[in-house]
Structure 1
Amino acid sequence: MLWTALTAAVTLLYPLAIWFGHGQVEPRWLAALLLLAAATRLPAVKLSGAARWSVAGALVLAACALWSNLLLPLKLYPVLVNAAFLAAFGYSLTTPVSMVERLARLREPVLPPEAVLYTRRVTQVWCGFFIVNGGVALATALWAPEAVWSLYNGVIAYVLMGVLVGGELLTRRHFRRLYQS
């Protein structure tokens, strides 16, 4: 539980730390934050290929920032995270059990066929979200000032995820009423 809280705190504070540190601290020192973000993901490495790629990518980005002393590799971390989630969710669509179905079966081991189709559709929606969110994260990393990058990746992206989760919860309630009657 404490490890999960640390991971969430580092992930949420990372964009703000990059913004506040820009111009105050050399990027090679800010790379330590990315190393910390990668370290908090280490427990998931044994569970998921996407986690392994995400940690490896974070280490590459941190090494690039250390070597070049540029901020851009550090600003690309949200792009990497979206790509890793897209890979995990997208790959699950090529298997019989989608990512959202796996998560749903943790609470309800037996799902009716309609729910299986619904969870596959929700997985597709999340893939679309990761494509758009990752694209905006890339655009802000390449072309936006650090304050805009930080605002989008540290606030707006999380609000959008919350809206998607909330919308899905409302849709799921409606879906359950339709098929449990």
Structure 2
Amino acid sequence: MSSSQLPHSVATSPDATPLLQRAGWIAAPVGFLAYESALHHAAHTPGGQVGALMLGLAPFVLIALAAAWRSAARLPWLLLLAACGAALWLGRLPLAAHFGWTYFLQHFGANAALAAMFGRTLRQGTPLCTEFAAAVHGPLTPEMRHYTRRVTQAWTLFFALTAAVSLVLFALAPMPAWSTFANLGTPVLIAAMFVAEAACRRAVLPAAKHTGVLDAVRGAVRGYRAVMTERASRAGTSH
């Protein structure tokens, strides 16, 4: 059946795309919070070490599967992953005694990588938040460029401090204390950063057009996608 034969409400409904976008904006944070809550619950559940290990490894497995699927040598990589998965399952009991390392590598690694990503653009090229803002709003005023540079510095410091606290707590505190900070505290701190940035923007740039916190998050995601797409396009052209 061609698209012209489909019911008009399905083929050309103007509300379909915005509805899917709104569903995505709801599903993404709900899924993230559900996963973080599951990690926290598993870390506090006696006898649940195997389940906790599998939850902690899930992101690494998904990333590896996605990379293997996109590889030109798809079948060999998938076979290798299958072999690694079988070995992991056979050794799940001794590995489960150290499941906390999978959580730590996720949390520390992600925050350290984000700190490096934001911080690198302060030393060379355009600050990352400036790129995000320009991708969404077009050419920026000098005041906006200065402000977005400061915002990039703030996010760099935030992610670096989060990674440092994660390392200290994982090394010195009980696992439940680290888990509370990593899985429950970090999402709250990120939300607080967006709220604080919105308040600072209104104070520092009173003449600029202001949006709510959710719009700021959407803008950051759109900017990130636009910048990453442009970089991937440039990389493809250079090759």
TM-score, normalization: structure 2?
0.56
Aligned to 1:19: 43
1: CA distance, partners of 2:156 / 2:150:
10
| Total equivalences in the alignment | 161
Aligned to 1:48: none
Which amino acid in 1 is paired with 2:113? A
Match of 2:101 among 67, 73, 76: 73
Which amino acid in 2 is paired with 1:32? M
1:38 is the counterpart of 2:44: no
1: CA distance, partners of 2:197 / 2:30:
27
Match of 2:128 among 83, 89, 99: 99
1:114 is the counterpart of 2:147: no
Q: Post-superposition, which runs of at least 4 consecutive aligned residues in structure 1 deviate over 6 A?
A: 42-45
Structure 1 residue 134 displacement after superposition: 0.9
Matching of residues 86-165 of structure 1 within 5 Å: 86-165=115-194
Structure 2 residue runs of 5 or longer lacking an equivalent are 1-23, 68-87, 210-239
Contact 2:37 2:184 in 1 (8 A): no
Structure 1 residue runs of 5 or longer lacking an equivalent are 46-62
TM-score, normalization: structure 1?
0.72
Rate the CA distance shift 1:89–1:43 in 2: closer, same or farther, 3 A. farther
2: CA distance, partners of 1:43 / 1:6:
23
SS at match of 1:93: helix
CA RMSD of aligned residues (A): 3.2
Structure 1 residue 14 displacement after superposition: 5.0
Max Rg structure:
2
CA deviation digits over 1:124-161, x for unaligned, max 9? 11111111111111122122122211211122222222
